[in-house]
Amino acid sequence: MSLKEISKVTGRAVHVPGDDIDTDRIIPARFMKCVTFDGLGEYMFYDVRKDADGNDRKHPLNDPSYEGASILISGNNFGCGSSREHAPQAIYRAGFRGVIAEGFAEIFFGNSTQLGMPCVTAEGKDIEKLVAAIEADPSTEVTIDLEAKKIRFGIAAIDCEIREGARSVLLNGHWDPLQDLLASEEQVEAVAGSLAYMAEK
């Protein structure tokens, strides 16, 4: 049984500028003591959003104009550093369903895809146009169109790219490999039963 087919992600967007934003900035290590990923969204970008006393700093994610945004925009090499799965989990659990950047760290990209959260790349000059549009009007609706490989906002559109393997599993609803494995229980048992060493006592 496949999961939801993801061909488009639509919502308002927020720009978190900067290149080489690493996973420790996305979710500081001290918040990774959780048994499940529930509640991680509260701590996304905590150390740049909050001061030492826990008060809000000036930051796009604290700006009421972008409250409820579900698409995150950033720079190059987003999600670099350690391979912690908690980083995309924090972004997802903060309500984001897609990320647009100039480039992504490979493991972050893979972990995000397995959450059904598309990570698409666009040219810097095109991202600048998109950011200008949402800063001029934070209510602007942005759509990541995986089929057309376009990002649409207002009457404008820019090109985007995503690795074909990731695009395919998102479009076909097979983005969670564990779910695929569980859905193939009969085939797994059939293969296991055909292996001589599985029959040994």
Grade residue 182 by pLDDT with cuts at 50, 70 and 90: low
pLDDT exceeds 60 at position 13: yes
What integer is the mean pLDDT of 40-58? 93
Residue of higher predicted confidence among 119 and 33: 119
171 neighbors 6 (Cβ within 8 angstroms): yes
Output the pTM of the full model. 0.88
Enumerate residues 6+ apart whose C-beta is below 8 A from 164: none
At 106, list the tokens: 């490979």
The domain locations on the chain are 8-174
CATH architecture of 8-174: Alpha-Beta Barrel (3.20)
Query: With the CA atoms of 12, 144, 131 and 67 taken in that order, what torsion angle do they form, in degrees rounded to the nearest 10?
Result: 20
Three-state SS string over the chain comes to CCCCCCCEEEEEEEECCCCCCEHHHHCCHHHCCCCCCCCHHHHCCHHHHECCCCCECCCHHHCHHHCCCCEEECCCCECECCCCCHHHHHHHHCCCCEEEECCECHHHHHHHHCCCCCEEECCHHHHHHHHHHHHHCCCCEEEEECCCCEEEECCEEEECECCHHHHHHHHHCCCCHHHHHHHCHHHHHHHHHCCHHHHCC
Q: How many angstroms separate the CA atoms of 49 and 34, rounded?
A: 21
**Maximum C-alpha span of the chain:** 70
Give the tens place of pLDDT for each residue, 128-148. Answer: 999 999 999 999 999 999 999
**What pLDDT score was predicted for residue 132?**
98
